[in-house]
Amino acid sequence: MTHLLPSVSVRLKLTLLYGGLFLLAGAGLLAVNYALVSSRLELPFGVRIENRRAPLPDPIGRGPGLLIVRAEAGEGGDTFIASAPSPEAVQAVRQEAEAVRRELQMATLQQLLAQSGVALALMALVSVGLGWLVAGQILRPLSAITATARRLEGSTLHERINLRGPKDELKELADTFDQMLGRLDAAFETQRRFVANASHELRTPLAIARTEVDVALADPGAGRAELRAMAGRVLEANQRSERLIEGLLTLARSERQLRSSEPIDLDLAAADALSEAAGEVERLGLRVSSVLGRAPVAGDRALLERLVANLVENAVRHNHPGGWVEVDTGRAGPLAVVRVANSGPPIPQDQVTTLFDPFRRLHPDRTGSDHGAGLGLSIVRSVATAHGGHATAKALGAGGLEVTVELPVAPAG
C-alpha cells in the first residue's frame, strides 16, 4: 500500500525539518527564559506602616515602601493605616502585601509567556519561508543532475553537468557523476567499435566459405581435386572464424570479475609459449634470446597463460624473416614483470597505445591478417587489468615493438 501514499519532495521535507527544529529550539529557549525570569523576579516594594506621630520602619525592608490599598468594586478600597499598629495589624498588612506581590508576578509572567508565544509563532512562519528558499537553493544542483540524467541516452553520453560553485558534497557528487558519464561514454564507444569490427571480421571468412561453396555447386563438372581444394579453403575460413570467436570469448572473460585464483609462475608460462612457437621461429629464422627469472603471481591460470602466449605469438607473427625476439621475466620489487620485444616494421610512436584496441590496424601484417584476429594485445591488456596490473608498449627506433606487463607478486605462502 506504500505506493498509494502521496510523494513528498525533499525540499518540503527539509522545510518542515527546518521549521520543526526552529520550533523546538524556540520552545526550549522560551521555557528556559520563563524559568529564569520566574526564579529571579522580585518586585521592589515593601509595606509602609503610617503613624501619626512618627513613621515606623518598613517591616519587610525590601523596597521603598508602599501604602497598601485593595480596590474592590467601585471606587472603594481598604487602606491599612495604623496610628498605633498592633502586631495583628502589621501581620495583616504584610500578608496583603505578599498577595499583591504574587499577583503582580503572575501577571508579569503571563504577559511574558503570551508575548513570547506570539513572537515564536511569527518567527516560526518566517523560518518556514526562509527554509523553503534555502532548501531550494541547496537542492538546485540535484535538479541539474536529475535533468541531465533524464536527457541521457546512448547518443548523448557526451553531456556533462559541469557544476560551478564551492567545493562541497554536492559539487563532489556532480563531479563524480561527470566522471561516471565519461567512463560510460568510453565504454559505449568501445562497445560500438568492437561490435562493428567483430561483425566485419566475421563477415569475411563467412563470405569466403559461401563463395567457395557457391562456385563448387555452380560447376557440375568439378573434379575431385577441385572439390578438395574448395574444402581446404572453406576449412581455413572456418578456422579463422573459430580463432576470432575464441579470441572474443577470451576477451569477454578477461573483462569479467575473476572467479578463481591460483599461483602460477610466469617464467614457466613463457617457456611453454616459446616451445609452442618454435616451429614458426624456425620457419622465419628468428633469433630468440630469453632471460627467464621467477615471476610468481596469482590469478586465473588459463588467462595468465594466454597473456604470455599472446605476447610471444605477436612477437613472432609480426616479425620479418631473420629478425629477433627477446623474452624476459622476473621481479621488480612488489611486481612480477614480463617483457617481450621483437624486430619488425616501424610503428609510429603516437599510435602505439592504439595497438591495445580490438582489431586495430596499422598495416596489413600487424592485425587482421590470416594468422590472427587482431585481439592479441587487447586480451593482454584486459587480463593484466583484471589481475590488478597494467600493460605498456613502446615502439623501437629500428622497427618493432616492446611490450611490458607488470602484475602484483603473489603473496608468499
Please indicate, yes or no, if residue 16 is contained in any of the structural domains.
yes
In this predicted structure, the answer to whether residue 360 has a pLDDT above a threshold of 60 is yes
Please indicate, yes or no, if residue 292 is contained in any of the structural domains.
yes
Q: Once rounded to an integer, what is the mean pLDDT over residues 73-88?
A: 47
In this predicted structure, the answer to whether residue 275 has a pLDDT above a threshold of 80 is yes
To the nearest 10°, report the CA torsion of 367, 369, 370, 372: 0
Give rounded-to-5 percent helix, strand, coil for the chain.
55, 10, 30
pLDDT tens-digit readout, 4-17: 545 667 777 778 78
All 3 cell numbers of residue 52? 501619626
The band of 269, judged by pLDDT with boundaries at 50, 70 and 90, is very high
Which CATH number does the domain housing residue 220 bear?
1.10.287.130
Query: Could you tell me if 125 and 181 lie in one domain?
Result: no
Enter the pTM of the model. Answer: 0.53
Tell me if residue 292 falls in helix, strand or coil.
strand
Query: Could you tell me if 367 and 282 lie in one domain?
Result: yes
Query: Could you tell me if 159 and 135 lie in one domain?
Result: no
pLDDT tens-digit readout, 254-267: 666 676 788 999 99
pLDDT, residue 75, reads: 44
Query: Could you tell me if 159 and 146 lie in one domain?
Result: no
Which CATH number does the domain housing residue 335 bear?
3.30.565.10
Cα separation, 199 vs 398, whole angstroms: 35
- Domain end, chosen from 210, 227, 254, is at 254
Query: Could you tell me if 143 and 185 lie in one domain?
Result: no
Please indicate, yes or no, if residue 1 is contained in any of the structural domains.
no
pLDDT, residue 60, reads: 45
pLDDT, residue 272, reads: 92
Please indicate, yes or no, if residue 301 is contained in any of the structural domains.
yes
Per DSSP, the residues of 216-259 read: HHH-TT--HHHHHHHHHHHHHHHHHHHHHHHHHHHHHHHTSPP-
What is the rounded average pLDDT for all residues in the chain? 76
Cα separation, 23 vs 127, whole angstroms: 9
Domain span at 330: 260-408
Q: Once rounded to an integer, what is the mean pLDDT over residues 17-41?
A: 78
Tell me if residue 296 falls in helix, strand or coil.
strand
Query: Could you tell me if 145 and 160 lie in one domain?
Result: no
More confident residue, 191 or 362: 191
pLDDT tens-digit readout, 237-254: 787 777 777 766 766 666
The band of 340, judged by pLDDT with boundaries at 50, 70 and 90, is very high
Q: Which residues pair with 408 in a beta bridge?
A: 335
Query: Could you tell me if 183 and 302 lie in one domain?
Result: no
Query: Could you tell me if 175 and 109 lie in one domain?
Result: no
Query: Could you tell me if 248 and 268 lie in one domain?
Result: no
Please indicate, yes or no, if residue 2 is contained in any of the structural domains.
no
The band of 324, judged by pLDDT with boundaries at 50, 70 and 90, is very high
All 3 cell numbers of residue 404? 611490458
76-84 long-range contacts (CB < 8 A, ≥24 apart) are: 80/49, 81/50, 82/49, 82/50, 82/51, 83/50, 83/51, 83/52, 83/53, 84/51
The band of 84, judged by pLDDT with boundaries at 50, 70 and 90, is very low
Q: Once rounded to an integer, what is the mean pLDDT over residues 84-105?
A: 68
More confident residue, 24 or 315: 315
Query: Could you tell me if 188 and 88 lie in one domain?
Result: no
Query: Could you tell me if 194 and 107 lie in one domain?
Result: no
Of the candidates 324, 317, 316, 381, which has an alpha carbon nearest to the alpha carbon of residue 355? 381
Domain count, the chain: 3
- What is each CA distance from 50 to 65, 66, 90, 93, 339, in whole angstroms? 11, 10, 11, 11, 117
Greatest alpha-carbon span in the chain: 161
Please indicate, yes or no, if residue 111 is contained in any of the structural domains.
yes
Residue 333's CB: how many other CB atoms inside 10 A? 8
Q: Once rounded to an integer, what is the mean pLDDT over residues 152-174?
A: 72
Query: Could you tell me if 34 and 103 lie in one domain?
Result: yes
Of the candidates 398, 394, 402, 411, which has an alpha carbon nearest to the alpha carbon of residue 351? 394
Please indicate, yes or no, if residue 28 is contained in any of the structural domains.
yes
In this predicted structure, the answer to whether residue 47 has a pLDDT above a threshold of 90 is no
Phi, psi of 265 (to 5 degrees): -100, 120
Q: Are 380 and 310 in contact (CB under 8 A)?
A: yes
Q: Once rounded to an integer, what is the mean pLDDT over residues 296-301?
A: 90
pLDDT tens-digit readout, 186-208: 777 767 766 776 676 677 678 87
- Domain end, chosen from 236, 254, 272, is at 254
pLDDT, residue 65, reads: 46
More confident residue, 168 or 286: 286
- Domain end, chosen from 254, 275, 290, is at 254
pLDDT, residue 76, reads: 44
Give Cβ neighbours of residue 237 (< 8 Å, ≥ 6 apart). Answer: 205, 206, 208, 209, 212
